[in-house]
Structure 1
Amino acid sequence: AAPVEIDVENFAGLSEEEKLQAIEMVLNRSIRANLARDGGGVEVKGIRDNQVSIQYHGACGSCATSTSGTLQYIQTQLKQQLHPDLK
């Protein structure tokens, strides 16, 4: 099946499911490969009021930068590619 195209220009107007698909798209395109290189990973747990909940896997779970630099990188990518109010 072809990948679903999400209109991220209207991110705020998307359904919760579409928002989650858009977030997964950004993670797949910009973030997961970098985390995997260091033996880690990230899973989206949900979104509520522009707050994205994630869970780290592998090396990311015990890495000191997962709550600082790595988290800031993920937040920046989501804000730049989807919506500035995401956190």
Structure 2
Amino acid sequence: MMPFTDEDLQAPVSSIIKEKIAPMLARDGGAIELLDIKNARVFVQLQGACVGCSASSSTLKFVVEKELKAAIHPELEIVNVPHGMEDKLQEL
């Protein structure tokens, strides 16, 4: 069971994405945006060179999700939000 509320998760998740993940992606021309956190599901959107990259799903699972699980809580889940679906998170 997740011991944190979605509001509790906002600051640490945002910090890790901004300080660790975003700089790594930027080196390859990519970017990541934290859109929302709902029920321990972290909704992000890849941008720049990451859009359409064949390694993007691996990056999300084995870099972003792994980092967040290790640093915050093992029950966190990353959800990639396709462009155009930003207002339909409940459908993902």
TM-score category by the smaller chain? 0.7 to 0.9
Distance 2:15 2:3 in 1: 16
Q: Paired residue for 2:60, among 42, 63, 71?
A: 71
Q: String of CA shifts for 1:48-76, please: whole Å, max 9, x gaps.
A: 111111001100112111112x0121000
Q: What TM-score results when the alignment is normalised by the length of structure 1?
A: 0.77
Aligned residues: 75
Deviating beyond 6 angstroms after TM superposition, the runs of 4 or more aligned structure 1 residues are none
Task: Work out the CA distance in 1 between the residues paired with 2:23 and 2:73.
Answer: 22
Identity %, equivalent residues? 33
The separation in 2 between residues aligned to 1:51 and 1:74, in whole angstroms, is 13
5 Å-filtered alignment, 1:39-78, equals: 39-68=29-58, 70-72=59-61, 73-78=63-68
**Are 1:12 and 2:3 matched, yes or no?**
yes
Post-superposition shift, 1:44? 0.8
| 1:19 Cα deviation after fit | 1.3
What is the match of residue 25 of structure 1?
15
1:30 to partner: Cα distance: 1.6
Structure 2: gaps spanning 5 or more residues: 78-92
Q: TM-score, normalised by structure 2?
A: 0.73
Question: How far is 1:18 from its partner?
Answer: 3.5
More helix by share: 1
